[in-house]
Structures are given as C-alpha cells and as structure tokens.
Amino acid sequence: MSKSELFRRCDFHMHSVLSPCARQDMELSAILDICGERGIEYLGITDHITADTDTGILWQTRCELSNLHPSMKVYLGCEADVLDVGKHTVTDEMRKKLDFIAVAANHFSNPFVVRPDRHDRRAIAQHYLRMFEYACSLDFADVVVHPLYVMPGTHDPALLNLLEDHEMIEVISQAKENGVAIEISPRSLVPEQMRFRMRFLGLCKKAGVKFSIGSDAHQIEMAGMTSLVAPIIEELGIVDDDIWLPESER
Ligand SMILES: [Zn+2]
Ligand SMILES: [Zn+2]
C-alpha cells in the first residue's frame, strides 16, 4: 500500500474565536479560506467545552457555517474535557447534534480538571494513563486529542517514560475496541516528549487504532498545517487506511 497522503488533507482539531484561548484572527470565514488554500478537504471545528462553557457556542458555529460556502467538508465537533475519571463535559444534546466528539484528558492547567493527588512521579504518570483510559472508554468518544501529552507548565514530561508498554497496550486496545481514534498533531513533535511519543504512537499503530490528524490551531498561521506531522507519519509507516474520518466518510 502506498504511503499516506490523506493526512495532509485533514484537519480535525481547530479552535475558532469562540474558544477563549484562541486568537481573534480565528474567525470561521478566515479558517475556511486558509484551510482551502492549504489543501484541506476534511475540516473539523473543535472549540473547547469545559465545565463552565456555554454549549450555545456550538450551535452558534453551526448557524454561522450554514451561511458560509466552504470548499471542503466541514464537521462540527468539540474538544470536551475529561474532568476526572468518571466525569466529563459532554451533554446529551452534544451527543445528538455534533458530527463528532473529541475528548481531552490532560488539561491539567484547567482548574476544573482534577490533578494527580500524589507527588511521586510514577503515580502522576498513572493518573495520566487512567484519565486517558476513561476517555477511551466513553461510548460517544470519536477522538482523543493530544493523548498522554504533557501540557506546558503542568508536569515534567519525562515522567511519562515511567509508563510501561504493557499498561499502555491494555488501554490502547480498549480504544481500538471502542473505535476511538488517537490524535497526531504538531504537538506530537515537541522535542522533549518525542521519545515517549514515538513509543506510544508505535504501540497504537501496532494495535491497529485509527489516527485523527489535527493542527490544534489557535491562531491562523497554524490552521490547516497538518503536513507538519509528515515525519511522524513516515516513521510509523502510517497509510491512508490508518487515518480516521468521521462516520459518514467511511
Ligand atoms: Zn487541548
Ligand atoms: Zn485544542
């Protein structure tokens, strides 16, 4: 099978101005324009839905999209939070009305997200894994974004090296069974997390999970820049069949 080029045409992780952390240049029309120029054919809008977000922003986006004429297929998603094991921010309405649901399980700088309650490094690493495991177990989850990635300013990234292959494989096989895709984004290229990232993604590839490709753009320069992950795609031998697309495209 030839190597994947589909990843260059997908961007399933995008923050509009309705995400408080996104820059003001992330207007929907600007996003659609630049992603079109950059060859994106499948685009997902995924604003943050955390514990205190008014989910009305999602339907506002749906309404705005209906007035635009994009050159690509546009899907309305969200980046929901796992707040703790057993607790998430996805409502029934979101499950019914969104085109896909992406979940983050490691926003530890968000005050609503429960931090590891112990100080030893192995326990912190296991908390990351348990949060990720819960995200993979959710029956409505389509994608887990930036899985087992250490957000800047939260923990020492090296502690994830304490996770063993066999415990990750157990969780990854749950993701596979539940049809949950694992994200590859430009965050995956952060040098200090690269060694762990390639080990983790290698296990995902071996298990046969699908990979969702997203820029996680918060500013217009990054929108549609999924070609940046080419070195990872190449190194892992990811082919088009390994790339996740929303249900309606499969
Ligand atoms: Zn995130
Ligand atoms: Zn994001």
d(CA 229, CA 245): 17
Ligand 2 centroid distance, CA of 15 (Å): 6
Assess if residue 122 is contained within a domain: yes
pLDDT tens figures, 201-248: 999 999 999 999 999 999 999 999 999 999 999 999 999 999 999 987
Instruction: Tally the domains of the chain.
Output: 1
3-state DSSP of 27-43:
CHHHHHHHHHHCCCCEE
Assess if residue 250 is contained within a domain: no
Q: What is the pTM of this model?
A: 0.96
Ligand 1 centroid distance, CA of 106 (Å): 8
Ligand 1 centroid distance, CA of 33 (Å): 23
Assess if residue 90 is contained within a domain: yes
Q: Are 144 and 136 in contact (CB under 8 A)?
A: yes
Assess if residue 187 is contained within a domain: yes
Assess if residue 17 is contained within a domain: yes
Lookup: tokens for 208:
């046969």
Look up the CATH number of the domain holding residue 101: 3.20.20.140
Assess if residue 64 is contained within a domain: yes
Ligand 2 centroid distance, CA of 216 (Å): 5
Assess if residue 166 is contained within a domain: yes
Domain limits at 204?
Answer: 6-245
- Note the pLDDT of residue 1: 46
pLDDT tens figures, 101-138: 999 999 999 999 999 877 899 999 999 999 999 999 99
Assess if residue 1 is contained within a domain: no
Q: Which ligand is nearest to the CA of 214?
A: 2
List Cβ neighbours of 154 (8 Å cut-off, separation of 6 or more): 106, 108, 109
